Structure 1
Amino acid sequence: MCGECDQTFTRPHNLKSHLATHSQERPFQCEICNHHFRRQHDLKRHKKLHTGERPYVCKSCSRSFARLDALNRH
């Protein structure tokens, strides 16, 4: 359980990742634009903006997206 917001997690790794959202520390830096992130996952997602990578494709209209949540909203 998170001591900051009482959110619970089934896996210790998920709790550890979540705890970074409460920290002001941003140890992960984009080498292209120097933007900093709290979690490595967020940096990885951000880098797709620079590469133009759009791996999620709609099966109905072939439109592509950088993020799965954007495809799901579409």
Structure 2
Amino acid sequence: MNTKSRTGPAAAKPFACTECDQTFSRAHNLKSHLATHSLVRPYKCDSCKAQFRRLHDLKRHQKLHSGERPYVCKVCERSFSRLDALNRHQR
């Protein structure tokens, strides 16, 4: 495992949040972060009243309504809609 700390241009984080102290090395990471400070939730679930700041979060939520459960435990065969839930189950 590489344990060197980054220095120089690779460690630069020129994209700073105007709302808090966080800085980012990539503009798209700052853009995603800025949504955490906004009350705007443009992505709405058609099945319930849930609203989300990011499309990714809406799509993850919609699996709850669709019944899609593609992640299956190989030990007990219980299924999950999210990989992180399966991983938590297997610990």
TM over 0.5: yes
Residue 4 of structure 1 corresponds to which residue in structure 2?
19
Q: Which residue of 2 aligns with 1:71?
A: 86
**Number of the residue aligned with 2:3:** none
Q: Among the aligned pairs, what percent are the same residue? A: 74
Please report the TM-score for the alignment, with normalisation by the length of structure 2: 0.66
* Counterpart AA for 2:44: Q
Instruction: Give the corresponding residue for 2:49.
Output: 34
Q: Which moved more, 1:24-33 or 1:12-21?
A: 12-21
Alignment of 1:37-52 (within 5 A): 37-52=52-67
User: What is the root-mean-square deviation in Å for CA atoms of aligned residues?
Assistant: 1.9
Q: Secondary structure at the match of 2:17?
A: coil
Q: Deviations over 1:8-47 (max 9, x none)?
A: 4444323322221221000001112132111111111110
The letter of the residue matching 2:81 is A
| Alpha-carbon distance in structure 1 between the residues aligned to 2:62 and 2:31 | 22
Task: Flag structure 2 segments of 5+ consecutive residues without an equivalent.
Answer: 1-15
Q: Paired residues, what number? A: 74
Q: Which has the larger radius of gyration?
A: 2
Unpaired segments ≥5 residues, structure 1: none
More moved, 4-13 vs 31-40: 4-13
The structure whose RCO (Cα within 8 Å, separation 6+) is larger is 1
